[in-house]
Amino acid sequence: MLDVKSSTPLYVQLMEKLEQKIRKGIYAEGERLLSEVEMAKSYDVSVITVRKAFSGLVKKGLIEKQQGKGTFVSKRRYYKDMNMLISFSDMCRKIGIIPGGKMMENRLVHADEKMAEKLHIKPNEKVISIVRVRLADGEPVAIERNYFTIKYAVLINEVFDNNSLFEFLKEKMDVTVSYSERSVDIHCANKTEAGLLKTNEKAPMLHIESVAYDSMKEPVYVGEQIINSDKFTLYL
């Protein structure tokens, strides 16, 4: 039952209990939950309390309401808070899942005009291209491409599979990403991307472009993420 004497609102307590059951698999994907009235009776709270708890879980992408049918546990999705500057690895740990990755590329390429402008270098200068498929509990959910100037040449000798680029930069180079500028749009998966993310070609993807800066407001890298929209919800 819920603790009526706690300073934590009842709807938050209920939301947390239901979220735990969903994440532990006690409530399975696609399972129909009790109605708001039934849930209120079960936890001895008001229907309004249940409604607010359900609303919070809907925002997190954990449940969905189907008109005339009821409330169901959503297919497993992860959610990324775009208001926070956080690495993929830390984001996964924060929501209780195991981060991972598979490096697909670590090589020198030539910067085009758009990339060069963002990195404050000349067009056609060489940059380090690091491409990874990011995993959440072993499941491919995103393709991440990051481009660094030659200032970060030490990266070319490293393998970034299950380790964090953010952590490497901080621990090995004393570089901290302080803030980033990001834009979000929709992208249709090409054949290669669909294969890597185990989805259908032309499936809608979330596309995030970013420029990360250090504490001196110097660009650290230009980034691009192709995220499976069936697996992720962005919180703005």
| pLDDT tens, position by position, 45-95 | 999 999 999 999 998 878 999 988 999 998 766 666 666 677 788 777 877
The pair of structure tokens assigned to 61 is 């992408």
DSSP 8-state assignment for residue 182: E
Burial state string for 14-42 with b = 16 or more CB within 10 A and e = fewer than 16: bbeebbeebeeeebeeeeebeebeebbee
As beta bridge partners, residue 207 has 185, 226
Tens digits of pLDDT across the chain (236 residues): 788 888 999 999 999 999 999 888 899 888 999 999 999 999 999 999 999 999 999 988 789 999 889 999 987 666 666 666 777 887 778 777 888 899 999 999 999 999 999 999 999 999 999 999 999 888 899 999 999 999 999 999 899 998 888 889 999 999 999 999 999 999 999 999 999 999 999 999 999 999 999 989 999 999 999 998 877 766 65
Report pTM: 0.68
Report all structural domains of the chain as residue ranges with CATH numbers, in order of start: 10-73 (1.10.10.10), 78-235 (3.40.1410.10)
